[in-house]
């Protein structure tokens, strides 16, 4: 399956590309910097330069033609200001979802964050508040669309090696952390399970193997 990953040079995206290419899928990483092409290709993905803060709807939709699924793994990233939270974490997601509709790609997985959908912690400052507001608005936009969407809200991300053991459930889960390896593996599992569409799921580290965690979600 051709899977287009927005934010293709991100830490989760590169991990996901390796997993997908390793099992025979055809990942495509959307990037805004041509200098990142070699890294994306080394992860086993096709690299396509497409800046979601500058591209037109038609340009983005063209990159999605023939895809079986889209993953929004993009974000403004650490050190960015409040304005970019809205232009990338919200605006980029909205543009990608609209492009998916236009290109006829129904499956859409959005990486959001634990805490979205609730008022932000006022003690964490203006930029954090903007980040939560942007992620919440992106989720609301996606839920209103006729796509087979799944929203994944991971906890605090780490670069620790993945354990393959997680806690995946309808929100809210208690605050926790999860490795980027395990987030990528959960996304790959969600792509395999269309019955997870129209679900919002929290994700932290835990004690349940990923495939089993997905099956348990379907029982709830």
Under 8 Å between Cβ of 162 and 122: no
Question: What secondary structure letter does DSSP report for 191?
Answer: H
Complete DSSP assignment for 9-37: TSHHHHHHHHHHHHTT-EEEEEES-GGGH
C-alpha distance from residue 173 to each of 114, 167, 201, 204 (Å): 8, 9, 9, 8
pTM score of the predicted model? 0.96
How many domains does the chain fold into? 1
Question: Catalytic amino acids?
Answer: 131
**CA-only gyration radius of the chain, Å:** 16
The DSSP bridge partners found for residue 186 are none
Q: What is the pLDDT of residues 48-82, one digit of tens each?
A: 999 999 999 999 999 999 999 999 999 988 778 88
| Pair of tokens at residue 179 | 């490795």
- Domain limits for position 202: 2-218
pLDDT of residue 120: 84
Among residues 85, 190, 210, the alpha carbon closest in space to that of 135 is found at 85
Residue 192 maps to which CATH number? 3.40.50.720
Mean pLDDT of 198-208: 98
Q: For residues 191 and 169, give the distance between their C-alpha atoms in angstroms, rounded to a whole number.
A: 17
Under 8 Å between Cβ of 85 and 127: yes
Backbone angle region of 97, left / alpha / beta, with phi > 0 → left and psi within -120 to 50 → alpha: alpha
Q: What is the pLDDT of residues 163-189, one digit of tens each?
A: 999 999 999 999 999 999 999 999 999
User: What is residue 168's three-state secondary structure?
Assistant: strand
């Amino acid at each position: 399956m051709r899977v287009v990953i927005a934010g293709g040079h991100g830490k989760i995206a590169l991990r996901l590309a390796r997993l997908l290419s390793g099992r025979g899928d055809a990942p495509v990483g959307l990037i805004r910097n041509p200098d990142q092409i070699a890294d994306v290709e080394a992860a086993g993905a096709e690299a396509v330069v497409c800046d979601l803060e500058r591209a037109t709807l038609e340009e983005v939709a063209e990159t999605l033609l023939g895809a079986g699924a889209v993953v929004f793994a993009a974000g403004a990233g650490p050190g960015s200001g409040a304005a970019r939270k809205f232009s990338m974490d919200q605006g980029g997601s909205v543009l990608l979802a609209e492009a998916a509709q236009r290109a006829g790609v129904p499956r859409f997985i959005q990486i959001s964050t634990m805490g979205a959908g609730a008022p932000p912690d006022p003690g964490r400052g203006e930029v954090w508040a903007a980040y939560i507001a942007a992620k919440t608005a992106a989720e609301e936009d996606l839920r209103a669309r006729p796509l087979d969407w799944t929203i994944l809200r991971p906890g605090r991300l780490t670069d620790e090696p993945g354990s393959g053991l997680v806690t995946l459930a309808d929100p809210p889960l208690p605050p926790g952390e999860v490795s980027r390896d395990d987030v990528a593996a959960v996304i790959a599992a969600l792509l395999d399970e269309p019955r997870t569409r129209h679900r919002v799921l929290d994700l932290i580290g835990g004690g349940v193997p990923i495939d089993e965690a997905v099956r348990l979600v379907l029982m709830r």
